Amino acid sequence: MPSQANSPAVQSMRNEQARQRKAARKGEPDEGLEGTFPASDPVSLVHTTVSARRADRKEADLRSRWEYIEAAVRSRPLTAIGIAAALAYVLGAKR
């Protein structure tokens, strides 16, 4: 009886692993993948979009307002500092 290290099953497994490593280094696709390329599903000419009436509309509105404020502050930082200082003064004066 041959030893397990030299059995035909072990040799076959080692040969298959070596073939897979060699194919991976070459960048060749697996044999199973080759049979499916190009994919059986055609490219879709229609793409879906998110409806304008989303369930999280309030969150989207807040996000768009925040983006507007952020853009305004970035474009006019001194004006933004002046507005923040005026608000701080008014809120501080009410105490």
pTM more than 0.85: no
10-45, pLDDT tens digit by residue? 888 999 988 888 877 776 555 666 666 555 565 666
Counting other chains too, the contacts that 66-71 makes at CB distance below 8 Å and 24 or more residues apart are none
47-64, pLDDT tens digit by residue? 666 555 555 777 777 788
Whether the predicted pLDDT of 86 surpasses 90: yes
Which single residue is written with the structure tokens 């490593």? 21
